[in-house]
Copies of this chain bind each other. A is one copy, B any other.
Amino acid sequence: MSDPSAAMPRDVMFQKMALIGVGLIGSSISHAARRAGLVGDIVGCSASPETRAKAESLGLVSKAYDNVADAVAGADLVLLCTPVGAYAKIAEQMGPHLAPGAIVSDVGSVKASVVRDVVPYIPAGVHFIAGHPIAGTEQSGPEAGFAELFDGRWCILTPEADADRLAVARLESFWTKLGSHVELMTPEHHDLVLAITSHVPHLIAYNIVNTAAHLERVTDSEVIKFSAGGFRDFTRIAASDPIMWRDVFLNNREAVLEMLGRFSEDLVTLQRAIRFGDGETLERLFGESRAIRRGIIQAGQDTPSPDFGRRPSPPKTS
């Protein structure tokens, strides 16, 4: 690839951005930051030789390192983009090498545990502000990224009460220029909100796909053929990265268990209504959920096209 610092020498927000992890989110940040001309150089870091080679050959980074110390050296923006279970070790390794005045942030799907794991290793004069772009697809890896991923989506930042206000403002501006809206909240509230809007949905999706795959009286072939009845919608997020999601659940236990408890209670109400033939309750509860979908579409967070705008597949010939 060409030297990016030659192409955009002046107006950049950050001279050197280090992406620790170059998967779906890291690679999308690279694309979106290049699109907006936000950074001078972009370097990456990955433990995987394949990911490093891919990240360089795709031009996502000028250089991909196998160790965080080299990657963060001289970077004024460092973004952790690995599964959150790896953060503590990464923070310990990078701490001594962070440049004074650097902003360190992340994209992890949980926030309280991230603050707990990372903050102890951040030296004085470096600004750690945890973050989470609410965007993604079911795909993984450096090839999966694209510049539009964050357009119109929300990015939550969870700065500590004593965080440097200018650093927070800079990071807010960075995400806005990547295409996102930004909202600030505490790490604890983030974890509660995401438990219901993301973590429990993923858990339920994984669960029903596994339930369906292990039935005795219905075959996998039948599940697959007749999935257009609704089941296939669940399989998209159930195809997400297992390691990333393992780490999410291990690190947001309390909030997930609270929301899962509420979900299960409500499900028992529906179950009883079915058992006792209570059509009124079913109709009332089914009718209430349309308002939320309407709100999501009005807020630009989903498409109004029927079936997500999926095109019908061509008829199978077999």
16 contacts between A and B (CB under 8 A): A152-B312, A196-B218, A198-B231, A201-B233, A201-B234, A205-B289, A210-B285, A213-B291, A215-B259, A224-B296, A225-B301, A246-B279, A250-B274, A253-B277, A300-B313, A308-B309
B-contacting residues of A (Cβ < 8 Å)? 85, 109, 134-139, 144, 148-149, 151-154, 156, 179, 181, 183, 189, 192-194, 196-215, 217-218, 220, 222-240, 242-243, 245-247, 249-250, 253, 256-257, 259-260, 262-264, 266-267, 270-271, 273-275, 277, 279, 282-283, 285-296, 299-303, 306-316
Least Cβ distance of A227 to chain B in Å? 5
A292–B220 CB distance below 8 A = yes
Number of copies: 2
- The dominant DSSP class at the A interface is helix
Least Cβ distance of A159 to chain B in Å? 18
| Contacting residue for A274 out of B194, B249, B293, CB 8 A | B249
Given contacts A233-B236, A282-B245, A307-B138, contact A289 B152 (CB under 8 A): no
Beyond A202-B230, A240-B286, 13 extra complex contacts between A and B, CB < 8 Å: A109-B229, A196-B215, A207-B267, A210-B285, A213-B289, A224-B299, A232-B296, A235-B293, A236-B293, A239-B289, A239-B290, A300-B315, A302-B313
A309–B312 CB distance below 8 A = no
Nearest to A273 among chain B residues (CB) is B249
B152–A227 CB distance below 8 A = no
Bound: A199/B239 CA distance, A: 21
Bound: A274/B253 CA distance, A: 6
Least Cβ distance of A274 to chain B in Å? 5
| Contacting residue for A192 out of B217, B232, B246, CB 8 A | B217
| Residues on B with beta carbons closer than 8 Å to the beta carbon of A138 | 293, 306-307
| Residues on B with beta carbons closer than 8 Å to the beta carbon of A223 | 193, 196-197, 292
